[in-house]
Structure 1
Amino acid sequence: MLKNTQYGYGWIAIFLHWLVAIAVFGLFGLGLYMVDLSYYDSWYKGSLDLHKSIGITLALVFALRLVWRITQVTPRAADPTLVWQNRLAHIAHGLLYVLLAVLLMTGYLISTADGRGIEVFSLFTVPSMGEFIDNQEDIAGLIHEYVAWSLIIFAALHALAALKHHFINRDSTLTRMLKATKGDNHE
């Protein structure tokens, strides 16, 4: 079952969800590693190129995920009676999307402020639009750092909420993101 139903997510949504999660946490770890490297470190340029290439790939996957989310049925809440929690969950998901979009945009602005494009795994180059404001690299870099930490914190809270649903509420919230659900067997 590739597509979403009113009872659960399809394999494409599940795959995109976990691919984005792994990329975000991987890029965060790589970013933390990179900031401790000096310009003369042997892997300074390689880690930077890898971070940019994965970031552009993540941007493409994120765009695909947005299109998929817009064109697919959104499964109903595992427990529709928890109105305020369901509303909070929708707000949290929206915030995760906004944070990721800002993170990707600021990464682009940092990387292209000097007018050079971003080489992606030596396959293609994303062109630069140049510097829009003075000190763009530093301003975007600061925003990028704060948004990265915010995204990781909210993603961790998102994971904790899924675990709470699984172990305390004992509903299908977590399992719906681990396996596709057929038809009307929603629990």
Structure 2
Amino acid sequence: MTTPTVPAAQSGVAHYDRASITFHWLTAVLVVGLFALAEIWSFLPRGTPTRRLLQSLHISFGLALAAIFVLRVIWRACAGRRLPPASTGLLRVASTGVHGLLYLLLATQIVLGFLFRWAQAEPFAFFGLFDVPTLIQIDHEQRRFIGGLHDTVAWIIIVLAAVHALAALFHHYFLRDGVLRRMLRSR
């Protein structure tokens, strides 16, 4: 079975709105950056100033991701541009499933990040501008479990994000259906 393709010039590619595009790319950059920070500090000795700085940046950018994620979900639910599905059949099912799973995992990861910090019973701040209050007391013994889960979910998100990126490239270079251009600003 061959997949019909439409030449890019004839596809009449519709674009997502600027806010949706901005939220998408900010989320992507933050997820990759947060993952990179955590992986880099894992090679540094505990208690060093550089490791503490990377952890502080991870926390602050994680808080930024939480805010962007909430705004993204609200925008998508209320005002974001809806485009017709780019695929049918199994590709559509896979696309919908991966998107839904990425949203679920991002929400889970954000919650785990807060729980992990609260389980450490240490104050944490957003770029030193304000402290995040402890809303829930968590047994310090749960710290290792929550941290391990936070790490596992991070790896799953990175793998799924890579699959998502590869699928976009597949659509762009092989199916030539304009899917990737939908998430790029129109000229």
Q: Tell me how far 1:134 sits from its aligned partner.
A: 5.6
* Aligned CA-pair RMSD: 1.8
Shift of 1:37: 1.7
Residue in structure 1 matching 2:86, options 75, 78, 97: 78
CA distance in 2, matches of 1:37, 1:112: 23
Work out the CA distance in 1 between the residues paired with 2:81 and 2:17: 10
Please tell me whether the aligned partners of residues 110 and 141 of structure 1 are also in contact (alpha carbons under 8 angstroms): yes
Matched, 1:147 2:124: no
Q: CA deviation at 1:165?
A: 0.5
Whether 1:104 aligns to 2:110 is: yes
TM-score by length of 1: 0.86
SS of match in other structure, 2:179:
coil
Q: Which runs of 5+ in 2 are unaligned?
A: 1-12
Shift in Å, 1:132:
3.1
Q: Which runs of 4+ in 1 moved over 6 A?
A: none
TM-score under structure 2 length normalisation: 0.86
Q: In the alignment, is residue 113 of structure 1 matched against residue 108 of structure 2? A: no
The one-letter code sitting in structure 2 at the alignment partner of 1:176 is R
Shift in Å, 1:115:
3.3
The answer for the alignment partner of 2:30 in structure 1 is 23
Between the aligned residues of both structures, percent identity stands at: 36
1:66 aligns with 2:73: yes
Q: Which has the higher contact order (CA 8 A, sep 6+)?
A: 2
Residues 7-46 of structure 1: matches in 2 within 5 Å?
7-46=14-53
Kept in 2: contact 1:116–1:127 (CA 8 A): no
Matched to 1:152, the amino acid is: I
